[in-house]
Chains A and B, each alone.
Chain A
Amino acid sequence: MPSWLIGNAIAQWALYSVLLLLSARPVGGYMYRIFTGQRTLFHPVLRPVEVGIYRLTRVDEAEEMRWYTYLLAILAFSIVGLLITYGVERTQQWHGGFFNPQGLPNVTPVLAWNTAVSFTTNTNWQNYTGEATMSYLTQMFGLATHNWMSAATGIVAAVALVRGLARRTASGVGSFWVDVVRCTLYLLLPILFVFTLFLVWQGVPQDFSAYTVAHTLEGTTQTIAQVPVATQEAIKILGTNGGGIMNANSAHPFENPTPLSNFFEMLSIFLLGSGLVYMFGKWVGNTKQGWALWAAMFILFSVGFFTAAGFEQNGNHLIASQAHVQTLATSNQPGGNMEGKEVRFGIVDSAMWATITTDASCGAINAWHDSFMPLAGLVPLTNMATGEVIFGGVGAGLYGMLMYAILAVFIAGLMVGRTPEYLGKKVESFEIKMASIALLISPANILFFAALAIVGTWGTAAIFNPGPHGLSEVLYAFTSMNANNGSAFAGLGTGTPTLQPAFNFYNVTGGIAMLIGRFLFLTPLLAIGGSMARKKTVPANLGTFPTDGPTFSILLVAVIVIVAALTYFPAYSLGPIIEQFLLNAGKTF
């Protein structure tokens, strides 16, 4: 057994897993209370605010929406947010001295489009350098607010689907407006309040003062950028948004200063996704239904982590042999592939973060994935390509996993030759059609745009690392945007305005890919929710395939792995897989 396996990797993985497991029930139970309209601890303070918002926005609290009205509300809410953000970006030069002290010009149309879509869809793909492109008003009002709103949108979409699955002979799935307001006030706000202050305590700055010029020991100067980081960092992580305030994202010491801040940021990425799975089980009246999904997610997370950590610790044999560099971890140095990593995180925390941020749709990074070993980089790529269903983006992870669950019962039904059932309801051709559409949208979206990018200089001009790694960069970009992740093989120069055709190509197509990945994926799943809500439950009998036990968890894992492997294997074999073989043979580019 390699030394890293018996050492710190297992200890950190175990601690993380135990805390995640312990958090699922309280967080999920609390979510259930919020979304069924029960009283919470915060009602004395926040209930008047909630009622006030309904009055201001003309919302009828008792309204019940059909699934397509719910979807329309999601779309209307997203489009309005998108347009406001686009407008704010395009009018920067008139923001004035207080909100735009640097006098930054208007954001160009293609970049404003890409960025507005990116933040609205919970992707946070960033084709710009924040401090050099966006005014304070754009950052605070145009971008940071989407971290809250897109997170809430994702969560309540999952809640609506769960309502549909839990209800019987009902036509409504809840009110989008009420769900969004409750999610923001009772769920996000209290957690963020504590989390933000925790981050400041660990060293994350939160001030509005001007940048400080430090006089260094060797007699030069260093301008230290301080911005209100903590408030944005907390929601960016908890809401699985991932858009960095600093270019280096959560690798920057101001965004993620200590191993402890790193640990709780990693925990926060999964916190709501994991809680939602428990909430689902509770809502459908059998928590084991939730735990079966949770177990499948946990297996996939663990496999991903140990794969990534193993290849990263193994390091680059060319560097080890030609420069005499240690790859084994010892008590006083991390070993492995430290390119693009921070010493305080080392190999284990960097590999774990990369796995978690792509299991979920977070996309924040604490190490550069472009510099990962080929097969370690394949882990985040595969995580995103399977739809980020491993705890997943807030809300999106659960509704994606329920799509796989419906496919899994369908496949089980085919094997035993009976009509498949899920949660006591018959799964019929409409549901299977919708699940298949949802399943096919991602590969069509990813592979179409990636293929388009590599057939012309409009796409290939942006490639930074030559050889098969360049294809990995392009595949990663569209996989990330389709999955609304936002992390990148960041060498890809999609944000370089001097590469004019490539700049336009990636900004325009990326915007389309993100919209498809968010809303076209969501639509069939809400349709399933609406259709299931109308159905009667049928009593379970001997022929019913149980979906609340380990057999189902394993079947679910198999379905996910097989579906993803068959779809993407040809593309991956030309990217990361062949790169690993070539590296083993000592070939460089």
Chain B
Amino acid sequence: MSTSATSQPPAGSPQTGTPRRRSSVRGLIVTSILMTVVLMVGTGIIYPLVMTGLAQVLFHDHANGSLIKNARGQVVGSSLIGQNFTKPQYFHPRLSAAGKGYDATSSGGSNLGPTNKVLIKNTIAQANLIRKENNLPANYPLPADAVSTSASGLDPDISPAYADLQVPRVAKARGLSQATVLALVKKYTDGRTLGILGEPRVRVLQLNIALDNTKK
């Protein structure tokens, strides 16, 4: 026990602690009701409205969901929300358990446990599909994110390794050189933040939009 420090009253702290008056039960209930209502109005109505106003002024684009529009002004998606791609000329995203796949009103994961037969079966099926679509040999080691279901079901990213193995397929389907496609993949790859945080990743939707805007 550090001796003198504990026996001295800390400066400035009220050490008296003598009850001034007994609060009545009725007073307690009245104050409970009033306090709850005051705090609910303050934190549940006034505060969110003020913050919405500030956010809309300061970060208008982000506050509204980071939406991406095409040349005609039509919303094609959000830069933060993944969407499904199955055609060979597009980079494919991860497996999704959100609704019927990439349903942005019904986010969620598979919740399959590590010893669940369904998990192993689904993973093997996805691995076989990727190998077939991309003409990969049966022993080609696949990146872990390519065969697994994301947490949100709306993961906008894939790993650079998963993008790389799709480059030949996408290039062939579009009649572009692999170098052109690879350069675009590089352009839409983010490294770790500050070199430490998170994981390297490729933004699938922006990459596919860029591909659509690339002339042969």
Interface residues on B, range: 35 or more
Partner of A197, one of B54, B76, B193: B54
Is the beta-carbon distance between A374 and B114 smaller than 8 angstroms? yes
Given contacts A64-B16, A141-B45, A149-B43, 20 further A-B contacts (CB under 8 A): A77-B35, A79-B32, A149-B40, A170-B16, A180-B39, A200-B59, A200-B63, A205-B62, A228-B51, A247-B106, A260-B198, A283-B10, A286-B5, A324-B127, A325-B147, A342-B150, A343-B201, A491-B111, A491-B113, A544-B1
Is the beta-carbon distance between A340 and B151 smaller than 8 angstroms? yes
Between A and B, 24 residue pairs with Cβ closer than 8 Å are: A8-B192, A37-B14, A59-B31, A64-B20, A77-B36, A80-B29, A166-B10, A217-B77, A217-B90, A225-B105, A253-B156, A254-B81, A259-B198, A283-B13, A315-B144, A324-B138, A332-B159, A339-B112, A341-B150, A365-B151, A368-B110, A421-B1, A583-B115, A588-B116
Bound complex: CA A253 to CA B201 (Å): 14
Q: Assuming A167-B15, A544-B1, is B81 touching A251 (CB within 8 A)?
A: no
Interface residues on A, range: 35 or more
How far does the Cβ of B114 sit from chain A's closest Cβ, in whole Å? 5
Is the beta-carbon distance between A343 and B157 smaller than 8 angstroms? yes
Interface residues of A in 140-187 (CB under 8 A from B): 140-141, 144-145, 148-149, 163, 166-168, 170-174, 177, 180-181, 184
Residues from chain A with Cβ under 8 Å of B124 in the complex: 322-323
How far does the Cβ of A409 sit from chain B's closest Cβ, in whole Å? 10
Bound complex: CA A324 to CA B140 (Å): 7
Is the beta-carbon distance between B5 and A285 smaller than 8 angstroms? yes
Among B65, B83, B86, B123, the most chain A Cβ lie within 10 Å of the Cβ of B65
Bound complex: CA A402 to CA B76 (Å): 54
Bound complex: CA A63 to CA B116 (Å): 58
How far does the Cβ of A534 sit from chain B's closest Cβ, in whole Å? 10
Residue of A whose beta carbon sits closest to that of B22: A69
Q: Kindly specify which of A50-58, A381-389, A442-450, A518-526 makes contact with the partner chain.
A: A50-58
How far does the Cβ of B201 sit from chain A's closest Cβ, in whole Å? 5
Residues from chain A with Cβ under 8 Å of B19 in the complex: 63-66, 69, 171-172
Bound complex: CA A15 to CA B55 (Å): 29
Residues from chain B with Cβ under 8 Å of A76 in the complex: 28-29, 31-32
Residues from chain A with Cβ under 8 Å of B116 in the complex: 465-467, 469, 588-589
Partner of B105, one of A72, A211, A368: A211
Among B80, B126, B193, B198, the most chain A Cβ lie within 10 Å of the Cβ of B198
A36 near B: Cβ within 8 Å? yes
Residues from chain B with Cβ under 8 Å of A452 in the complex: none
Q: Contact mask B27-65 → A, CB, 8 Å, 1/0? A: 111111111111110111101100110111011001111
Is the beta-carbon distance between A346 and B65 smaller than 8 angstroms? no
Which B residues contact A (CB, under 8 angstroms)? 1-3, 5-10, 12-23, 25, 27-40, 42-45, 47-48, 51-52, 54-56, 58-59, 62-67, 74-87, 90, 94, 98, 102-117, 119-120, 123-124, 126-127, 138-162, 164, 192-193, 196-201, 205, 208-209, 212
Is the beta-carbon distance between A467 and B109 smaller than 8 angstroms? no
Is the beta-carbon distance between A349 and B35 smaller than 8 angstroms? no
Bound complex: CA A149 to CA B13 (Å): 25
Q: Contact mask A324-352 → B, CB, 8 Å, 1/0? A: 11110011111111111111111011100
Residues from chain A with Cβ under 8 Å of B65 in the complex: 205, 207, 212, 224, 226, 254
Residues from chain B with Cβ under 8 Å of A11 in the complex: 196
Q: Assuming A218-B85, A318-B120, A491-B112, is B162 touching A226 (CB within 8 A)?
A: no
How far does the Cβ of A535 sit from chain B's closest Cβ, in whole Å? 12
Partner of B155, one of A168, A325, A332, A343: A343
Bound complex: CA A342 to CA B14 (Å): 50
A122 near B: Cβ within 8 Å? no
Residues from chain A with Cβ under 8 Å of B12 in the complex: 36, 38
Partner of B10, one of A216, A285, A579: A285
Among B43, B48, B74, B116, the most chain A Cβ lie within 10 Å of the Cβ of B43
A441 near B: Cβ within 8 Å? no
A262 near B: Cβ within 8 Å? yes
Closest 6 A-B residue pairs measured CB to CB? Answer: A259-B198, A170-B17, A251-B151, A346-B199, A333-B143, A248-B107
Is the beta-carbon distance between A589 and B117 smaller than 8 angstroms? yes
Is the beta-carbon distance between B156 and A140 smaller than 8 angstroms? no
Is the beta-carbon distance between B1 and A323 smaller than 8 angstroms? no
How far does the Cβ of B143 sit from chain A's closest Cβ, in whole Å? 4
How far does the Cβ of B165 sit from chain A's closest Cβ, in whole Å? 10
Bound complex: CA A323 to CA B52 (Å): 47
Partner of B144, one of A209, A335, A344: A335
Bound complex: CA A365 to CA B8 (Å): 44
Q: Assuming A66-B19, A257-B80, A322-B120, is B30 touching A371 (CB within 8 A)?
A: no
Partner of B62, one of A202, A289, A342, A365: A202
A460 near B: Cβ within 8 Å? no
